[in-house]
Structure 1
Amino acid sequence: MSLVEKLKAAVDLYDQILKQPHRAEIARELRDDEDLFMLLCVSEMLGIPNPAYYYTLELYPLLLDKFHDWHVRMGMDKSPLEGIRCC
């Protein structure tokens, strides 16, 4: 193993040690950000104006895969949209 590889491994280990106590908090923040993003995209599908419409339009096909997990986490047993049947 070269010196560069050893240094990268040491930096990676150090990074993991620093992140360990905060993993749950980081995951919660990432989930909250994704929930906000999903809300913006779904609101656009429902006809509520979205200021980020131009940037989110091409992401809809990717979001359909995550839509089921999102609406279950938001407390909706079935899809709130009639056009999207994921359950």
Structure 2
Amino acid sequence: MAGTLSALSAGLREFYEAPYRRTLSRARRDEDDLFTIVVLAEALGVPNPATYYTVELLPLLADRVHEWHTRLGMDRSPLEGVSCC
């Protein structure tokens, strides 16, 4: 009985969450892109008043630069110091 209820609960959860999964993943990807642009703004030549705080995050984003610029449709990295391709 408990196995049947847990399977029913899992099925209902999937039924209700499935339509929103793509929308939520797209929203998360958009937020990640915005965050990347804010952190890399100074390196892209855009004045950023928060550079003092975001410079510490640059090493964390170094691995994701290639995914970011290919998702935005750029063939090569727009950053002069980062050549990932």
Which bracket does the TM-score occupy, shorter chain normalised?
A: 0.7 to 0.9
- Under a length normalisation based on structure 1, what TM-score does the superposition of the two structures give? 0.73
Q: Does 1:43 align with 2:33?
A: no
Change (3 A) 1:16 1:57: farther
User: 1:26 matched to which residue of 2?
Assistant: 24
The alignment yields a C-alpha RMSD, in angstroms, of 2.3
Write out the 4+ residue segments of structure 1 that deviate beyond 6 Å after TM superposition: none
Change (3 A) 1:22 1:85: same
Alignment gaps of 5+ in structure 1 = 1-8
**Using CA pairs below 8 Å that are at least 6 residues apart, which structure has the higher relative contact order?**
2
Q: Percent identity?
A: 49
Give the secondary structure class of the aligned counterpart of 1:55. Answer: helix
Alignment gaps of 5+ in structure 2 = 1-5
Amino acid in the other structure paired with 1:59: L
Q: Which moved more, 1:14-23 or 1:63-72?
A: 14-23
CA distance in 2, matches of 1:23, 1:46: 32
Give the secondary structure class of the aligned counterpart of 2:19. Answer: helix
Count of aligned positions? 78
Deviation digits for residues 3-40 of structure 1 (CA, Å, limit 9, x no counterpart): xxxxxx7xx94655532210000000000001111111
- Under a length normalisation based on structure 2, what TM-score does the superposition of the two structures give? 0.74
